[in-house]
Amino acid sequence: MSFFIHPTAIIDEGCKIGENTNIWHFSHIMPGAVIGEHCTIGQNVFVGANVVLGKCNKIQNNVSLYEGVICEDDVFIGPSAVFTNVINPRSAVVRKTEYKKTLIKKGASIGANATILCGITIGEYAFIGAGAVVTKSVAAYALVTGNPARQTGWISEYGHKLSFDTNGKAICAGSGQEYGLVDKKVTRTN
């Protein structure tokens, strides 16, 4: 296997790391974690037990991914983003059997300092703005911002805001890809 692990990183036994993945300074990967190929794990990242990261994920510095988080392929998580895994944590109450799953679907981006509450799904290519506090599931291609996070628009796979015409059609300014909006759902049409 060919991957890079910085000497200060802690990689526990029982995790899997894909080819061409880089794990940088002071990061900690717990047992049972699965990290796909071509991933970048930034400085001081915590990847909890049984977390699953698909291919080509970019996890920036100071991110905490707790048990229950699953990221599909091509996910970007910005610096200092935090994920939770228990709805009602208490120091004196053990809730390890109550961890909630959080699914981040293919191509989604999560901005710096965002907080993602557990038990939700972030849809394909959704974009979570910096500092957002996400308390409920987010639709594919949705742009959400604020605290609590609210949808403020739609975004393309290329990362450009989409403006739909009266026929529910939009073209990405960066890629020329075409999108359709029907019943509050966006799909790529070409």
Say yes or no: 121 and 189 in one domain.
no
Average pLDDT over residues 159-165: 98
Say yes or no: 75 and 135 in one domain.
yes
Domain residues for 146? 4-155
Say yes or no: 66 and 91 in one domain.
yes
The confidence score (pLDDT) of residue 1 equals: 67
DSSP-assigned states of every residue in the chain = ---EE-TT-EE-TT-EE-TT-EE-TT-EE-TT-EE-TT-EE-TT-EE-TT-EE-TT-EE-TT-EE-TTEEE-TT-EE-TT-EE---SS-BTTB--GGGPPPEEE-TT-EE-TT-EE-SS-EEPTT-EEPTT-EE-S-B-TTEEEETTTTEEEEEE-TTS-EE---TTSEEE-TTT--EEEEETTEEEE--
Q: What is the distance between the alpha carbons of residues 181 and 131, in angstroms, rounded to a whole number?
A: 27
Total number of domains in the chain: 2
DSSP state of 62: T
Q: What is the distance between the alpha carbons of residues 73 and 84, in angstroms, rounded to a whole number?
A: 20
Q: Is the pTM here over 0.85, yes or no?
A: yes
Question: pLDDT tens across 3-37, in order?
Answer: 999 999 999 999 999 999 999 999 999 999 999 99
Average pLDDT over residues 48-67: 98
Say yes or no: 136 and 176 in one domain.
no
Residue 84 in contact with residue 66, Cβ under 8 Å?
Answer: yes
Say yes or no: 148 and 189 in one domain.
no
Question: pLDDT tens across 116-153, in order?
Answer: 999 999 999 999 999 999 999 999 999 999 999 999 99
Say yes or no: 18 and 46 in one domain.
yes
The confidence score (pLDDT) of residue 50 equals: 97
Q: What percent of the chain is predicted at pLDDT more than 70?
A: 99
At residue 74, what is the residue type?
A: D
Nearest in space to 128 (alpha carbons), one of 155, 101, 164, 162: 155
- Domain of 61, CATH number, reads 2.160.10.10
Q: What is the distance between the alpha carbons of residues 172 and 13, in angstroms, rounded to a whole number?
A: 44
Say yes or no: 87 and 176 in one domain.
no
Say yes or no: 178 and 132 in one domain.
no
The confidence score (pLDDT) of residue 146 equals: 98
Say yes or no: 139 and 172 in one domain.
no
Say yes or no: 15 and 105 in one domain.
yes
Radius of gyration of the chain (CA): 17
Say yes or no: 137 and 171 in one domain.
no
Say yes or no: 40 and 117 in one domain.
yes
Q: How many Cα neighbours within 13 Å face the side chain of 150?
A: 4
The Cα-based distances of 65 to 33, 77, 85, 100, 122 in angstroms read: 10, 10, 9, 13, 15
